[in-house]
Amino acid sequence: MFARLEDFIFEKMSETKLPSLSMAAIKNGEIIHARAFGFKDVGQGLAATPATLYGIGSVTKSFTALAIMQLSEQGKLSLDDPIDKYVPFSIKPKGETVRISHFLSHTSGIPALAYAEAVIRGKTGAAENWLPIANCSDLLTFMGEAQDWSIARPGEKWFYLNEGYAILGNIIEKCSQMSYEEYVSNYILAPLGMNRSFFAKKEIDSDPDAAIPYVITRNGEQKASTYPFGGISADGALISNVIDLSKYISMYLGLGKYCDNRLLSEESVKLMQIPQISIPYQGYFGERSYAYGLFVTPDFLGSKLIDHGGSVLVSTAFMGFMPDKKIGIVLLANGSGYSLSQLGMMALSSMLGNDPEDLPFVRQEQALTELTGAYETYRGTMKAQIKKMGSFLVIEMKDKYSDSIVPLIPQNIEKTRRTFYTLSSGATLTVEFMVHETGVELIYERYLLRKTGKLL
């Protein structure tokens, strides 16, 4: 079932220099497959395991949303409560009040202020940023001049806001009379038996099966780094493993119940999965929305997909499940490499009995990759390199004195004649590739170029 997927994972880890990846597949509340690839510690040569610990980044937001729903069921808060009922929050987008439900669904009207991005890059050494944010009071001070940055009414537009989830963590503390970490540990992790899921650095440092977090540089160097302990909280601080997170997914598949423990009512679990707002970027599977701490794709291969990804630069994560099919997948890695969300969708496709390489984003990637390489005009009078950058191609032409880099945006790449477009002097220019049995040809402006080899 997973052989082709595992080959693909191995290939992409090799390409992106990702040190390790662990995954677990769940069906009907049970792990049906678990596997680890690569090294949790490159320097020591230690292999990763399915029990290896990784930072799960923004998958933490679903735990925060679950905690808010629990407190709502207990009558300790309401999703309609204004944020300033609990914290000194003075921002009123377009003069209107931000409520708990707005932070849960990223619809406060406040665009991302990038505190988490600055903290992560500062602590990992990827940038020189330094923000002295150790708690919610520091965060609110940081946000003190953000009123003029709000650009939509609450509930009107989707802006992914780490700051909002960090504030929700403080509201959990106010309503529960315990720290956010204590609350999640006592009322979510413990009932699920997630005994190796932690927030504190000392617990990670003392665990024998914790992955070293790595920054993967633009040159492919694997630089041992650190998690942003203390800098982020309810928006992305949890560290876990795929075995523990399989129990968490099983709870959602069980509509709030895991084994004999009910963490949330069926009604509240379903409410967490009701789309609240369409997100501004759509995938290959129709409309995609955000609910409460979870993304929703109504029609992924014929059934609803609920998921969330996460990244703190030095580790990445993906959790996804299909309630109607009672299946789920979780992947964790100690670096940033190939999209774990796409690997997760490939895994779910495999579990449904499909060929994962038939997914549209895989076909597109293969179609683009086939076109990359070195190209030449007649008798080598001009040379070019075609490179893949994300979902685009670029043409690079260089000589001793100048560089020309032209982005190519895909139009139709399903067949042997593959078309792209770019801009030339403000006008739209169509660029064509023709894939033959004997090779690949490129028509760019007035030139015909033929592929002569791989990238240098």
For the segment 283-329, what is each residue's pLDDT rounded down to a tens digit? 789 889 999 999 999 999 999 999 999 999 999 999 999 999 999 99
pLDDT at 129: 80
pLDDT digits (tens, 9 = 90+) for 8-55: 999 999 999 999 999 999 999 999 999 999 999 999 999 999 999 999
Nearest to 348 by CA among 379, 325, 366: 325
User: What's the mean pLDDT in 264-284?
Assistant: 94
Higher confidence at residue 443 or residue 124?
443
pLDDT at 286: 86
Residues paired with residue 53 on neighbouring β-strands, in sequence order: 210
The CATH homologous superfamily of the domain defined by 3-358: DD-peptidase/beta-lactamase superfamily (3.40.710.10)
CA distance 414 to 306: 28
Cα distances from 125 to residues 121, 215, 297, 336, in angstroms, run: 6, 9, 35, 15
State which of 99-103, 114-118, 397-401 shows the largest mean pLDDT. Answer: 99-103
CA distance 250 to 5: 22
User: What's the mean pLDDT in 411-423?
Assistant: 93
The domains of the chain are located at: 3-358, 366-453
Place of tokens 């064509």: 432
User: In this structure, are residues 186 and 263 in contact, taking their beta carbons and an 8 Å threshold?
Assistant: no
Take residue 24 and report the two structure tokens written for it.
């677990």
* Mean residue pLDDT across the chain: 95
pLDDT digits (tens, 9 = 90+) for 212-237: 999 999 999 999 999 999 889 999 99
User: What's the mean pLDDT in 199-208?
Assistant: 95
pLDDT digits (tens, 9 = 90+) for 329-338: 999 999 999 9
CA distance 67 to 345: 27
User: In this structure, are residues 198 and 204 in contact, taking their beta carbons and an 8 Å threshold?
Assistant: yes
Question: DSSP string of 361-427?
Answer: HHHHHHHHHHH-EEEE-GGGSSEEEEEEETTEEEEEEE-SS-EEEEEEEEEE-SSSEEEEEEEETTE
Looking at the predicted structure, is the pLDDT value of residue 455 above 80? Answer: no
The CATH homologous superfamily of the domain defined by 366-453: Pab87 octamerisation domain (2.40.128.210)
Rounded to a whole number, what is the distance in angstroms from the first to the last CA of the chain?
36
Cα distances from 336 to residues 15, 70, 155, 411, 455, in angstroms, run: 12, 33, 32, 28, 23
Nearest to 242 by CA among 328, 180, 304, 158: 328
**Of all helices (H) and strands (E), which one includes residue 252?**
helix 242-253
User: What's the mean pLDDT in 248-263?
Assistant: 97
Looking at the predicted structure, is the pLDDT value of residue 211 above 90? Answer: yes
pLDDT at 319: 98
User: In this structure, are residues 234 and 165 in contact, taking their beta carbons and an 8 Å threshold?
Assistant: yes
pLDDT at 456: 65
CA distance 365 to 387: 12
pLDDT at 343: 97
Residues paired with residue 383 on neighbouring β-strands, in sequence order: 376
pTM for the model stands at 0.94
pLDDT digits (tens, 9 = 90+) for 120-141: 998 888 888 888 999 999 999 9
Instruction: Name the 3-class secondary structure at 139.
Output: helix
